[in-house]
Structures are given as C-alpha cells and as structure tokens.
A and B are shown apart, each in its own frame.
Chain A
Amino acid sequence: MEKKEPKVVVNHLTKKFGDLLVLDDLNFEVQEGEFLCIVGPTGCGKTTFLNSLTRLYEPTAGEILVNGIPVDPKKQDISYIFQEYSSFPWLTVEQNVRFGLEIKRVPKEEADASVEEMLDIVGLTKFRSYYPSQLSISMLQRVAIARAFATKPELLLMDEPYGQLDIDLRFKLEDELLKLWKKTGTTVLFITHNIEEAVYLSQNIMVLTNKPTSVKTVLHNPLPLPRDVMSQEFVDLRNQVTDLIKWW
C-alpha cells in the first residue's frame, strides 16, 4: 500500500523571543485524520508551539507544511480553540458559530446547514439567540467548539480547552469531542497538561521537554475507544507518560 502524504510536516521549527529560546528545532509529522495529544511540563512553551503552528507568532526558523505547502490560515481551513474564553460577547450563540463561515465567505445555504448541525451536536439549539454573558462556562466552551467545527476544518488545534472545567463537565465535553472527531475525520492537535485527558483522547501522544522545548518522544496509544480510565492498560500508559514528563 502506498504511504499516505502526512497532513502536517514540521521541519526544524525554532522560536526565539529576543534571546530566549523557547522552541528548539522541532521535527515531526502528523497523519491525516490523526488525533495527537501534546503534553509537557508546565511552562514548557506549549502555547507558543501552537501559536507558531498557526503563524500567530512568526517562527524564527524552520518550516511548517500543511498538505505540502507552507501553513497560511488564509489558504487552509484551520480552526483554533483557545484556552481563554473566546466567544465574541457582542454576538449571539448562533452568530458566534457562524463567524468563521462568514469570514470564509461560505454560501448562505451551506452556512445555515452547518450552523444548525453544530448547534444541534453541542446541544445549544435552544440557546441560539442568547448572548455569551447569559451562558455558563461550559456552554461558552461549547460555543467555541461549535464555531471551530462549523467551518469543517482540515486541521483543528486545541489549547487546553477544558483546563478550567469541572471534572464531570470535562468528561462530557471530551466524549463530545471524540464524537465530532470521528464524524468529521478532521486532524486534531490537542494540547493539555492533564495526562489522563491525553491518554483518554489520543491516538498518539507527543511528549515535549522542558524549555527550550523539543520533542522528547511520540508514543502510540493502542487502547480501543471508548476507554476505561480505571483499566490496568489505561493506568499503565498514564504512568508511562507521567514518567516521561518528570524532570526532577
């Protein structure tokens, strides 16, 4: 069988802020449709890493290719779910979900259908005309998720999207995310400091080192979905990742 072209190729990605070296020569590939979790010690530059991937920060050196061409949010369909709450407070839930579609000038019927579908999947159809100030925290994060998926991105980046949620809400949204991922087949890069979350979600786990950040290793996660966090295999894998992250 012919080997598939990787979705994302990162060559020698380096980022400096002045003299401070944050990302040190990162090299890796992500396959089409892969769910990759990225873990690493706190403050190791995970956010800098994603922001460089999307060109929010200009890399100091190296190249990032998506579908074989240099990454450019104007040309490729990328969505990014941020750590902070990023819903626009001046738009209703529905208008928020529609935002990316409007930026990309998607025809109206197609956009309408996509918005309806996403509102339905995240369970916010009833709240479509609410403003963010009227929503709970978990609903806000669902708005961000629906907005990100509405444009049918080929690459979805998530930066600790559930970091500030209660554990039961997190489980619920994690399952929702897996459902969406399976349904859309999008490629996901998911940053977290929560190892359990990484083992629960990922197909592959990339472990980063302390600053200056480089790729320590990439582990394959063979556990079948849905995963049981109490099973021995799950605990073993979790411990293995924890040991890799330890820097003390």
Chain B
Amino acid sequence: MKKKQGARMDKYLLVSVLSVCVGIFVWWLVTDGLGLFRSNVLPSPVKVCQTFLKKWVEARPDGATLLQHLMASLKVALGGYLIGALVGIPLGIFMAWNDKVDMLVRPVFDLVRTIPGVAWTSVMVTLVGIGYMSKALVIFISAMVAMVINSYSGIKQTKTVHLWVGQTFGASNWDLLTRVAIPSALPMIFTGLDVALGSAWTTLVAAELLASTRGLGFMIQQARGIFRLDIVIVGMVVIAITGAILSSIIRKIGDRVVKGGRLR
C-alpha cells in the first residue's frame, strides 16, 4: 500500500512540475519567442533569471542585495509571526475553554479580526515610526487573528464523548484541557499556523510597500518607480518560493506533532 501511495505521489509531482514548465514556456513565448510584449512591459524569463542572479551581489538600484532584502523581510515576518503564535494560540484555547474569557475578549476580537492587517500600518507608523517594530506589529496582528480563530474552533470541536470519557474517569478540568481538548484540537491549531504564515507573509509585503527602507516589498516598490519590471518579478518569485518553503516546514512539523493520521 505504501508503494502505491508513493507512485501516486510521484505522478502528482510530475504533473506539478509539468504545469510550472508549461507556464514558463508560455511566458517565454509571448516575450522573447514571439515578441508580443516589449521587455520594458513584460520582461522575459531569461531576463528575469539574469536579474535574479545579478541581484544577489548587486545593491543597485535600491541600495541592498537580494539576500539583504530577503533577510530583512524574514526577520520582520518571523518575529511578528512567532509572537502572534505565542499569544494567539493560548488566547484561542482559553477563549474556547472558558466562557468568562470568551465574554471578555470576544467583542474586541470580533471587531479587530475584520480589519485587514495592512490597515494597521499607518497607525503603527504613527505610534512607533518606520522600522522593524511597526511592521512586526502589523504582522503580529494579522497572524494572531488566524491563530486565535483556528485554535478556538479546534477546541470547540472537541467531541463531547471524548470529554465524557475523561470526566467519568474523574479527570480534573486541567487534565480535560491538556489531555483531551488540546490534543484533539492540534490538527486545527496547525492549520492555523499554516494560514497565519500565509497572512503574515502577504501582510509583510504590503506593509513594506508603505513603510520601509529595506525588504522584498520595498525592493518591489523601488523597482516599480523606475520601471524595472524584471526586479519586480524577481521579488515576486522570491516571495512565492520563500512562502512555499516556510509553509512546507510548518507542515513537516505538523506531521511529527499531530499523531494518528489526522492531518489533511
């Protein structure tokens, strides 16, 4: 059975690789191939690759190499994300577990969660200035919202009969929470971590477009100003790849932590 599954995975991988290749081929065809778009409107994949390689060592035109931009973005995104997880997961769990906490926090949370993360940018810039803090705070808010929502529903979806098993064995409230509700909610908590990562990463780029001196979003913004679309696309590709890598790391951790084949 394992073998069969492996074969299906290989097939799936093949199809994914193929679809990416076809996409890149079509892109090449409409630029260099047939010349439908001029290179200052839509740069060809070859041009983008060249820029991509060059940008690792060249600080022009925006004052930093690709690696420096990437590290700046990662530092902000992961900082905000981790604090968002440290606050959001316990908050979601306790809101779901304790009605009093729920009543206290819920109204504020329901208001905050409808605000797009980027909308906080101006407020944060006014409060703490352009820099690490303002962006990290914006990301913290958008990541935390996703974590709270998912941990909350994870705990709420705990099966009554599982809690009853604990109760009839005489489990304390703490045992019920830590041995029944939280393990039962783990798949949802990991979904939250994944979703929050996505929203942290997209919010980051948006925040950098508005308030930054370095970072992938900043690089895109600068390149746009001087019509260097090749750099814009390099930025987009790096964002996509980094996001995919981070997301797969979260899933790998999830596979180790969530027992009993309950993920996906």
Interface residues in chain A, defined as those with a beta carbon under 8 Å from any beta carbon in chain B: 51, 54, 56, 72-76, 78-80, 82, 84, 86, 88-92, 99-100, 102-104, 131-134, 147, 151, 157
Chain A residues with Cβ below 8 Å from B184 are 88-90
Complex Cα spacing A178 to B3, Å: 43
Instruction: Please state if A80 and B164 are interface contacts (CB–CB under 8 Å).
Output: yes
Alpha-carbon distance A92/B260, docked complex (angstroms): 7
Chain A interface main SS type? loop
| Residues of A with C-beta under 8 A to B159 | 84, 86
Provide 19 A-B residue pairs closer than 8 Å at the C-beta atoms, listed in order of the A residue: A54-B168, A56-B164, A56-B167, A73-B169, A73-B170, A80-B168, A82-B161, A84-B161, A86-B164, A88-B162, A88-B183, A88-B184, A90-B183, A90-B186, A90-B260, A92-B259, A103-B169, A103-B171, A103-B179
B166 within 8 A of A: yes
With A99-B169, A103-B171 given, is the CB distance from A88 to B180 under 8 Å? Answer: yes
Contact at B165–A80, with CB atoms within 8 Å? yes
**Closest CB in chain A relative to B3 CB, distance in Å:** 18
Q: Which of B161, B167, B260, B261 has the most CB of A within 10 A?
A: B260
Q: Is the interface of B mostly helix, strand, loop or mixed?
A: helix
Residue from A76, A90, A92, A151 whose CB has the most chain B CB atoms within 10 Å = A90
A79 CA to B170 CA, complexed, in Å: 9
Tell me how many residue pairs across A and B have CB atoms closer than 8 Å: 77
The CA-CA distance from A157 to B167 in the complex, in Å, is 13
Contact of B169 among A79, A88, A132, A133 (CB under 8 A): A79
Check A133/B162 contact, CB under 8 A, given A80-B168, A103-B179: no
Q: Which residues of B contact A54 (CB under 8 A)?
A: 167-168
Please tell me if B258 contacts chain A, counting CB pairs below 8 Å: yes
Q: A90-B259, A91-B183, A104-B170 are in contact. List 4 more A-B contacts (CB 8 A).
A: A54-B168, A86-B165, A88-B165, A99-B179
Which residues from 131 to 187 on chain B have a C-beta closer than 8 Å to any C-beta of chain A?
159, 161-162, 164-172, 175, 179-180, 183-184, 186
Contact, CB under 8 Å: A91 / B168: no
Min CB–CB distance A131 → chain B (angstroms)? 4
Complex contact B169–A91 (CB within 8 A): no
Residues of A within 8 A of B186 (CB): 90
- A residues less than 8 Å from B170 (CB atoms): 72-76, 78, 103-104
Q: Report A56 CB to chain B, min CB distance, Å.
A: 6
State A104–B259 Cα separation when bound (angstroms).
Answer: 23
B165 CB contact (under 8 Å) in A74, A82, A92, A134: A82
* In contact, A91 and B259 (Cβ under 8 angstroms): yes
Q: How far is A115 from B184 in the complex, measured between Cα atoms in Å? A: 23
Mask, B37-57, CB within 8 Å of A = 1, is 000000000000000000000
Instruction: Give A71 Cβ to nearest chain B Cβ, in Å.
Output: 11
Decide yes or no: A99 and B165 within 8 Å by CB, A73-B170, A91-B259, A131-B259 being known contacts.
yes
Name the contact of B258 in the complex, choosing from A74, A86, A90, A100 (C-beta under 8 A).
A90
Q: With an 8 A cutoff between CB atoms, is B262 at the interface?
A: yes
Contact B175 A103 (CB under 8 A): yes
Q: Are B260 and A133 in touch, CB under 8 angstroms?
A: yes
